[in-house]
Chain A
Amino acid sequence: MTAMGDVRRQRIDELAARAGQVPEGEGGVSLVRSAFRRLRRDPVAILGAVIVVVFLFVAAFAPWLAPRDPLAQTLLGQVRPGFIPGAQEGFPLGADQLGRDLLSRLVYGSRQSLLIGVVSTVLGAVVGMALGVLAGAFGGWVDTVVMRFIDIVLSIPSLLMAISISVLLGQNQYALMIAIAVTQVPVFARLLRGSMLAQRGSDYVLAAWALGVKRGRIVFGHVLPNSLSPVIVQGTLSLATAIIEAAALSFLGLGDPDIARPEWGAMLSTAQAFLSVRPALAVWPAVCIIVVALGFTLLGESLREALDPKFRR
């Protein structure tokens, strides 16, 4: 009896010692890692990632990359009624209606656009996921209450909702972020709830119940991690939407009133008065918005494929 115990103890120690020797990160290939591997081989994902990284880089290093001060009205002297100076020495994209360097304004504008996009998406995702977990984990009346609330939010057109919120909260950039975040909440909540409900009936959840695992641990250790991939994908796609929505709100004059922070949507908005004089003033910010949104969308779509368990090996 003791001998048996000793032998077993010894075996445990031996195995424990070996467990310590397995180098960290070797042996296991997680879902995330295998998805990343597949992303690296996907040209669409690479294109999306390059676009996103380039814009993030520009936004981060705007003061160093911008050729001029985006607020300095250097070329104001050349502006005449019916004429806005075009490209010239030192001004590759020309100037805007107040004689400021367009390229520098675009470079600085990336900061504000991306910041609003990222902050509002993160905010929307966090709140939406919290509601989704609540509904998906408890079900029953909690689910009903949360989902009806979401339905109410969804029944209001998102732009109208955003406009009402920014009117309510006053005109500043935080109001803008919150307004966009609120419109993102229902998408995340619904997605996570649906995905959790699907996982709740799965075999491994039943197996976990059969092993006496606590509810909290089942929800956060088993159901949630398996429900996240559609949410991650939606996150990237929502970034694109948020940037477009931010531009739309700025265009409507509900954006950041601080003229010291150029923003693509606001630039687009002011440019419409000068469309016949210099259409480039509208074209360039529009191109920036489209390309950034495209980058995030491409990345999101390939992420969706990469995270799909059906493609796993």
Chain B
Amino acid sequence: MSIEALPPEGALRTDVPVLEVEDLSVTFARRGEQPTRAVDGVSFSVAAGETIGLVGESGCGKSVTSLAVMGLLPRRGVQVGGSVRLGGTELLGAPDRTLRRLRGSEMAMVFQDPLSSLNPTVPIGTQVTEVLVEHRDMGKKEAAAEAAELLDRVGIPDPARRLKEYPHQLSGGMRQRALIAMALACSPRLLIADEPTTALDVTIQAQILELLRELVVDTGTALVMITHDLGVVAGLCDRVHVMYAGKVIETADRYDLFARPRQPYTGGLLASVPRLDAGRGVPLTPIRGSARDAIPWAEGCAFAPRCDNAQDDCLTEVAGSTVPLEYDGPGRELRCRHPLTYPSSPVGATASGAGR
């Protein structure tokens, strides 16, 4: 395998988006089993200071996408295709050394469960300084001081004391803050947050989201929020990619998406959010079935079995192609043959693939 020499360290370009993902696909293949395509032709890009959301139910491929970007998927039994570029540098197929150098320094990740993401046998301080020593060539003392400053920055009170404590001594919110501090230790250009608030209670969720928002604004970090929580999307993301069964099915501006969801799946997600103004006794309107009911994309629209708008042509190939992702007005893309329509937006009704 020949790998092109990478530009020297620090040579990540600034004139291109921080992260460009193009036609990313991830296939899990086990000997003697049908290969499973967890991510299928996903493309998106994030610019500095921008926040995008990857939204979808459990199992739709959002976490696998993030692991593929970070190069954290196991080598064996996993095929990753397409292109992932960080500041113009191709990451897929890059040597382990290069990836390790970039991870933690140029791109970092915050995980879902803050307790299990921290090593229970070492103090918080050791884990924060570890990153600094690894990527910023700091001495132990210097790193400890910097670590305290980092904890201070993410809003952990009395950081010097906290550095000596173990994860089980911290509250859930503080653990997540510590993890964010670790991720931010080297001011990465890209931060991927994989459901960072799922394991936290609601008040803490709001604090953590606010913290992430501040950090993006202050440092110009590109943020990829992976979530199934539309509240998080509403509060934080500039642009949203809705994923279903490994494919992006709708892309839109946050406001557009909430005002006029086009994919029936997106519409269903929004409709199933409990509303305070809905009145008592009004039942929630969930999407029928579960993500397990998806059919392979090769046979048509994966969401069709659960979709209220589904018609016969959703389940068959049309012109040798299954449902493609198409332009759907400025800043919007849509993968649907029979999208939701709105009387106030005459353009949308015709520009979509509805007429095909």
Contact = CB atoms under 8 A, between A and B. Distances in A.
Interface of A: 8, 11-13, 15-16, 18-19, 21-22, 26-31, 202-204, 206-214, 217, 221-222, 225-226, 309, 312-313
A8 B149 CA distance: 8
Interface of B: 70, 72, 99-105, 108-109, 111, 113, 116-123, 126, 130-131, 134-135, 141, 144-146, 148-149, 152, 159-166, 168-169, 179, 182-183, 185
A226 B121 contact: yes
A206 B145 contact: no
A29 B103 contact: no
A213 B104 contact: yes
Contacts of B120: 31, 204, 226, 309
Contacts of A22: 160-161, 164
B145 A15 contact: yes
B160 A207 contact: no
Nearest to B101: A212
Given A16-B145, A19-B148, A211 B183 contact: yes
Contact of A15 (B72, B102, B159): B159
A212 B144 contact: no
B119 A208 contact: yes
A204 B161 contact: no
Contacts of A28: 123, 164-166, 169
Given A16-B148, A203-B116, 5 more contacts: A19-B160, A207-B109, A211-B134, A211-B185, A312-B168
Given A12-B145, A204-B118, A211-B183, A27 B165 contact: yes
A214 B104 CA distance: 11
Contacts of A16: 141, 144-145, 148
Contact of B121 (A12, A26, A31, A213): A31
10 contacts: A11-B152, A19-B145, A203-B113, A208-B119, A209-B72, A211-B130, A212-B104, A212-B135, A214-B134, A226-B120
B179 A210 contact: no
Nearest to A228: B121
Given A15-B149, A16-B145, A16-B148, A212 B100 contact: yes
A83 B118 CA distance: 69
B118 to A, nearest CB: 6
B145 A210 contact: no
A203 B67 CA distance: 13
Contact of B144 (A19, A31, A309): A19
A226 B120 CA distance: 8
B164 A206 contact: no
B135 A202 contact: no
A212 B111 contact: no
Contacts of B130: 208, 211, 213, 217, 221
Contacts of B109: 207, 210
A17 to B, nearest CB: 9
A28 B126 CA distance: 12
Contact of A206 (B72, B121, B134, B148): B72
Contacts of A30: 121, 123, 166
A31 B102 contact: no
Given A11-B149, A203-B113, A27 B164 contact: yes
Closest A-B pairs by Cβ, 8 of them = A212-B104, A212-B103, A16-B145, A211-B104, A19-B160, A203-B116, A27-B164, A15-B148
Interface centre among A203, A222, A313, by most chain B C-beta atoms within 10 angstroms, is: A203
Interface centre among A26, A211, A221, A222, by most chain B C-beta atoms within 10 angstroms, is: A211
Contacts of A313: 168
B119 A29 contact: no
Nearest to B135: A212
A221 to B, nearest CB: 7
A214 B161 contact: no
Contacts of B185: 211
B160 A211 contact: no
Contacts of A222: 119, 122
Contacts of B179: 207
Contact of A19 (B100, B105, B163, B183): B163
B307 to A, nearest CB: 35
A193 to B, nearest CB: 18
Contacts of B134: 211-214, 217
A11 B163 CA distance: 16
A11 B105 CA distance: 23
A274 B71 CA distance: 73
B152 A212 contact: no
A202 B116 contact: yes
Contacts of B183: 210-211
Contacts of A15: 145, 148-149, 152, 159-160
Contacts of B102: 212
A72 B317 CA distance: 100
A18 B160 contact: yes
Contacts of B123: 28, 30
Contact of A210 (B101, B108, B119, B126): B108
B83 to A, nearest CB: 21
A204 B103 contact: no
A217 B104 CA distance: 14
Contacts of B182: 207, 211
B108 A211 contact: yes
A26 B166 CA distance: 12
A222 B116 CA distance: 12
Contacts of B163: 19
Contact of B104 (A210, A221, A309): A210
Contact of B160 (A21, A212, A213): A21
A248 to B, nearest CB: 37
Nearest to A207: B117
A238 to B, nearest CB: 22
A313 B120 CA distance: 12
